[in-house]
Structure 1
């Protein structure tokens, strides 16, 4: 399979170059397991689907900890039939899709609850697209929504997306569980994600 993300980072500061370049160093521990390519629009991160969200978390938190208003936007995908299979993108054994929806939600809740707290508050909104057979994809969405509502990071439902908020550790773990847990490992799943920290709107 193929899994990866196109990630763009937007620090709201005149010194955005140093913030972005400094944050990119947070990806260094992942470079032996990922293909990482940065251009003038985004950074491509290709690698194990269970490590995509930890990598994005570390990138974003490194920028947000400067204290400036920072936004990350990412398009995340796994299992796209239009991409070549890549050995570095293997689905971990622990993320086979459990047959029972209750067990699936329980496993996702346990993983989100065990996430480390990083001391950085974030707000996120995302749209979840399980591109499964037509008769199944809405069941996968509803199961994911039930998980999100119990995750401890759920903020509210919005038009076309779901909002999360809280510490960056649990928020990114919740996103990762939604990405991995509610569609079969071989299925094509896409997520459109925006994360913000230090927003002056929230302080107001």
Structure 2
């Protein structure tokens, strides 16, 4: 797989947004409505939200949804998977344009959070070395890195966290046919007070 072909691959995300408040439905629906999603296919049901599109567009939308919920000051958590390969693989012309429809708004929201994630290049020999090299680069994105059970933990500003996640995912997928990145991000937790 060439880097040029890898850059236009389609990714998918499935995630749950949890808001620890009595008005959770309004916050979740408000976040979904506030985000520009025309560059991704998206469906929300009573279990999860799914989105597919270019890697850049999927990360743009997922980050923006999280930030719109998080800016309420409520304890907000998002857990999900971002995947590449299998039935989600294809080409997406949008990625070639690199226009992130939510970037301007997202960059104006500042929110501290903690995130745990793992990344799995499936069916690949030597995957541990590949993962280790990516994890070693994480501090370059302005996040604090520590090890957590079964995962890597990164703490910092949400925009920086998603930049670190996206860059790691993008680098791993350049030479991997199938990639899975489970993640959980949480902000405004009472356990931090």
TM-score normalised by length of structure 2: 0.83
Establish whether residue 44 from structure 1 lines up as the match of residue 34 from structure 2: no
Q: CA deviation at 1:133?
A: 2.1
Q: CA deviation at 1:92?
A: 4.9
Who is 2:188 aligned against?
198
- Give the whole-Å Cα distance in 1 for the aligned partners of 2:179 and 2:139: 20
Who is 2:37 aligned against?
30
Q: Contact 2:11 / 2:88 at 8 angstroms: preserved in 1? A: no
For these two proteins, the number of residue pairs brought into alignment is 178
Who is 2:5 aligned against?
none
Deviates more, 1:182-191 or 1:6-15: 182-191
Who is 2:110 aligned against?
119
Q: What secondary structure is seen at the aligned counterpart in 1 of 2:135? A: helix
Who is 1:99 aligned against?
none
Mapping of residues 160-199 of structure 1, within 5 Å: 160-184=150-174, 187-199=177-189
- Give the whole-Å Cα distance in 2 for the aligned partners of 1:169 and 1:197: 13
Q: 1:30 to 1:153 in 2, by over 3 A?
A: same
- Give the unaligned 5+ runs of structure 2: 1-8, 99-105
Who is 1:103 aligned against?
none
Can you list the C-alpha shifts for 1:8-30, whole angstroms capped at 9, x where unaligned?
10000011110110010133x22
- Give the whole-Å Cα distance in 1 for the aligned partners of 2:29 and 2:124: 41
Q: What secondary structure is seen at the aligned counterpart in 2 of 1:171? A: helix
Q: What secondary structure is seen at the aligned counterpart in 1 of 2:21? A: coil
Q: What secondary structure is seen at the aligned counterpart in 1 of 2:161? A: helix
- Give the unaligned 5+ runs of structure 1: 95-114
Q: Contact 1:117 / 1:169 at 8 angstroms: preserved in 2? A: no
- Give the whole-Å Cα distance in 2 for the aligned partners of 1:122 and 1:202: 10
TM-score normalised by length of structure 1: 0.79
Q: What secondary structure is seen at the aligned counterpart in 1 of 2:159? A: helix
Name which of 65, 70, 76 aligns with 1:64: 70
- Give the whole-Å Cα distance in 2 for the aligned partners of 1:66 and 1:20: 11
- Give the whole-Å Cα distance in 1 for the aligned partners of 2:129 and 2:10: 24
Can you list the C-alpha shifts for 1:155-186, whole angstroms capped at 9, x where unaligned?
31112101111111111111100110134255
RMSD: 2.3
Q: What secondary structure is seen at the aligned counterpart in 2 of 1:66? A: coil
Q: CA deviation at 1:153?
A: 0.6
Runs of 4+ deviating beyond 6 Å: none
- Give the whole-Å Cα distance in 2 for the aligned partners of 1:142 and 1:92: 29
